Structure 1
Amino acid sequence: MKLSYECGPCFLRQAREAMDLSTDDEILKMEIMNELFIFLSDNFKFGANSNGTGSAMHQLIKEKTGCSDPYYTQKVEGNEIALKLLPEVKKILNEDESLENYVKVAITGNILDFGAFTLEDDIEGVIRQALNKNLAVKDIEEFEESLKTHDKVLYLVDNVGEIVFDKLLLSKIKEYGLDITIAVKSEPIINDACRQDALDAGLDEYGEIVEIGCGTVGYVDSKISEEFRKIFNEHKFVISKGMGNYEGLTEVDLSYKDVYFLLCAKCDTISRDIGVNLQDMLLLKK
C-alpha cells in the first residue's frame, strides 16, 4: 500500500514508543527525532511505500540507540496475554469446531499488535470483545475449497502472542492434509514473530519454519531474501496474517495465487482500502 496522510501521526507515535523502550537518554532521543523529521521530509510523499517507510524509521532507531529489540518486553507481555486467554478460546472452539470459528480465533489474535495499538490500550479487553463478534468479511467457502484443492500452503505469521492463536488454526489446516510452511521475520521489528518465537510457541509441530530474510514492517518485496522469494513463488496458496502483510502484498502480483488475508482492520487507511469498518475482522480472498 501507499502512504496516506494518516500514516504520519502513526509513524511518529511508533517512533516515540520505540525510542522510549530503547533508551532513557533524552538528548539522544531529541537527536533521533530530528533525524526522523529530516527523513520524513524527504520520504513522506504520495506514492511512497508505507511498509518501507516505517521499516526504515524503526531501523534508524535501532541503529542509533543500539537496542536491537525494543519491544522485547512487550512481546513477552503479548505471549502472557494470549496464554491467559487460551483456555477461554479453546472452550469456544470446543463448542463450535467449524473452520470459520478457527479462522475467527486466529484473526482475533491479530489484535495483539503493538504497532497499531498504544502500549496503554486494554488489548486483553479488546480481544475478549472480538471473540464475541462475527467476521465482517468471510470468504470461508473459497478458503475451504483452497484447503481441499492445494497440497501445500505458505502461512505468513504476524505478531508474537498472536501466533499462540495461529497454532490452533494450523492444527485445523493440518486436518486437510496440507504441507505447511510458516514464514517468520529474520530480525526483530516491533512485536513481530521471529524463528525462536515460533519455536517457543510450538508452531514447528505443524510445519517447517522459514525466515523471510529481513526484519521489515510487514512484507516488503524488495527486502526479502532470494531463498524466500523462491519459496513464495513456489506456493500457489498463501495465508497472510495481519495488516502489515496485507499492505505489502497488495503491491505484489498475486494473480497466479490463492491468497487469503486474515486480519483485524485497526486503522482508517486499511479500513477504507478494503471497504470495511474500523475494528472489523475479515477473511478476505484477494
Structure 2
Amino acid sequence: MNYECLICQVKALQKRMDKYEIAEEKRNGIVSKMIKEIAEINLDNSYSPEITRNILKKLEAESAITDPYANEKAASNRALLHRYPEFKSRIENSDDKFDTALRYAIAGNIIDFGPTHHFDVDETIERVFQTPFAIDDSAALKAEVAKAKSVLYLGDNCGEIVMDKLFLETLNHPNVTFVVRDQPVLNDATLKEAREIGLHTVATLISNGDDTPSTVLHRVSKNFLEHYHSADLIISKGMGNFEGLMDESDPRLFYLLMIKCPVIGQKVGAEKGDFVVKRSKN
C-alpha cells in the first residue's frame, strides 16, 4: 500500500462520519483516535480496502446506521435497469457483441461513492466506446471464456452489477458464479441487491463471506476459497477487488476496471481515467 492511500483515508473521515450521522460531540475524539491508528499502519503489510473496512466498522459502532449507502445503491440499480433495454439493444445490434458488452461492463465501474470520486455515467459510456483500452487483454479473455468450464466473477458496486448482468448474458456461459460482499459496505453489492436486479438468472450467486470492499484472500470464507481455487477463469471487477488481488500471479485472473486514482494507475501501468482489461501473469 502507498502512503497516499493513508492520506486519502484521513481525507475521507469527515464524509464517512456524515454518512453515519455521527454526533458532533463525538467527532473530535473519533478523528483523533483514528488518525493515530492510521499513522501506525505498516504500509508494506496492509490493504487499503481492509483499512477502509476497519474504519467503517468503528463508525458503525458509534451509529444506529448499518447501511449508509442504501439509498444510493437502490437509486443506481434503478437508474441502470431503466436503461437496460437501451444497452441491450446496442449490444444486440453491434458487430462485436463481446466487445460492446465488455465495454459496458467496464463503463459501469464508474459508479462509485468513494471519498474523492465523482462520476458521470453517460460521459463514461460514450468515452469507453471511443477510447482504446489502455491495457487490452480482451482477446485472451474471450479465448479463456470459450474454453473455461467454470467462471468466477467478482462483483463490485451496485448499478455496475446491471452492466455485469448484460455482459454475462452476452457470454452465455453455462457455469458462472457471481460473488458479492457478505454485508453492506460502501455501495458494494450484496446478495440482496444482486437478486433485485436479476443476477441470479444468469449466474449462481454467493457472498465472499467478508465485508471488506475488496477480495482479500486471508479474510474470505472457506466456501468462497473453494470456488476461487477450483475456477478455470476468474474475472475481477473494479479497483477494490484489484487492490486485494494485485499481488497474485495467476493467469486465470483478469482485471476489468476504470482507473480512478493515480496510485492504482501506477500499479496497473495506466493513467487515471483509463479503461483496462488486464491479465494477471505468472
Q: 1:146 aligns with which of 144, 147, 151?
A: 144
Cα distance, 1:91 vs. partner? Answer: 4.0
SS of 2:66 mapped into structure 1: coil
Within 1, Cα distance between the matches of 2:115 and 2:255? 17
Matched-pair contact (CA < 8 Å) for 1:137–1:284: yes
Q: 1:132 aligns with which of 129, 133, 143?
A: 129
- Map Cα deviations across residues 220-278 of structure 1 (whole Å, 9 max, x no partner): 112101121111111131010001111111233x43x5111100011101111111111
Residue identity opposite 1:157 in structure 2: G
Cα distance, 1:84 vs. partner? Answer: 4.5
Aligned residues: 278
Within 2, Cα distance between the matches of 1:249 and 1:210? 18
Matched-pair contact (CA < 8 Å) for 1:154–1:238: yes
Identity %: 26
* Alignment correspondent of 1:211: 207
Q: 1:278 aligns with which of 254, 261, 272?
A: 272
Asked if 1:105 is matched to 2:104, the reply is: yes
Cα distance, 1:21 vs. partner? Answer: 1.2
SS of 1:6 mapped into structure 2: helix
Within 2, Cα distance between the matches of 1:190 and 1:274? 23
TM-score by length of 2: 0.91
* Alignment correspondent of 1:183: 179
Matched-pair contact (CA < 8 Å) for 2:107–2:121: no
Matched-pair contact (CA < 8 Å) for 1:153–1:181: yes
* Alignment correspondent of 1:269: 263
Gaps of 5+ in 2: none
Matched-pair contact (CA < 8 Å) for 1:150–1:178: no
SS of 2:40 mapped into structure 1: helix
Gaps of 5+ in 1: none
Pairing of 1:45-194 with structure 2 (within 5 A): 45-96=43-94, 97-115=96-114, 117-118=116-117, 121-134=118-131, 135-174=133-172, 177-194=173-190
Residue identity opposite 2:120 in structure 1: I
| Runs of 4+ deviating beyond 4 Å | none
Alpha carbons of structure 1 residues 280 and 141: separation in structure 2 relative to 1, 3 Å = same
RMSD: 1.9
- Map Cα deviations across residues 117-146 of structure 1 (whole Å, 9 max, x no partner): 54xx34334434434333222212211111
Matched-pair contact (CA < 8 Å) for 2:11–2:115: no
Matched-pair contact (CA < 8 Å) for 1:239–1:260: yes
* Alignment correspondent of 1:27: 25
Cα distance, 1:92 vs. partner? Answer: 2.9
Matched-pair contact (CA < 8 Å) for 2:181–2:213: no
Q: 2:228 aligns with which of 229, 232, 235?
A: 232
Residue identity opposite 1:144 in structure 2: K
Matched-pair contact (CA < 8 Å) for 2:149–2:232: no
Within 2, Cα distance between the matches of 1:260 and 1:231? 16
SS of 1:165 mapped into structure 2: helix
Within 2, Cα distance between the matches of 1:122 and 1:168? 21
